[in-house]
A = this chain, B = another copy of it.
């Protein structure tokens, strides 16, 4: 069974044949939002997929010392990918360094912690703006069965995630600015409790 990266590669190839180089590029931008890999890892994984008969390539002598290899799915590769899609994702442990820092934040100067969260909030707000503009590029929600449905759904998730994070940063800033200093500056209003409008 391929690794998750193997399936990520299959998922990209399901949308069209690509070279290892091109796969690396999509692992940077569109797919990179939820799964990334460097070219070194992609090339080695591609060789495993090849050995398992899930992909094949046509060699066209491109630039450089080696042939350029355009990979595409085999019927077995497509079948493996389809079967994988609906299997439950295998749970990977959460690892979140910011939350870990927060766990230890009682040890630090609140003003410095606030600086950390202000920087983090700025990052999230930037990404929100970026995702919103990407979302606006979709004339309407793509329907199931088109590849772009996958893009749209992933984007929705990313946007929702960034907003949750931004909310949390604002909540932290409100706590952090509220207590110890009296220098006038404090974060403007944001939701005080996550239980607000989520329903039920």
Contact = CB atoms under 8 A, between A and B. Distances in A.
Interface in A112-156: 112-113, 115-116, 119-120, 132, 141, 143-151, 153-154, 156
A44 to B, nearest CB: 18
Interface of A: 4, 7-8, 10-11, 14, 31-36, 78, 81-82, 84-90, 92-110, 112-113, 115-116, 119-120, 132, 141, 143-151, 153-154, 156-161, 163-164, 166-168, 171-172, 175-176, 179-180, 190, 194-199
A161 B164 contact: yes
State the copy count for this chain.
2
Q: For the complex, would chain A's binding face be called helix, strand, loop or mixed by DSSP majority?
A: helix
Given A109-B86, A179-B144, A153 B116 contact: no
Contact of A35 (B78, B100, B105, B110): B100
Contacts of A100: 4, 7-8, 11, 31, 34-35
A94 B6 CA distance: 16
A150 B102 contact: yes
Contacts of A8: 100
Nearest to A159: B194
A93 B36 contact: yes
A157 B168 contact: yes
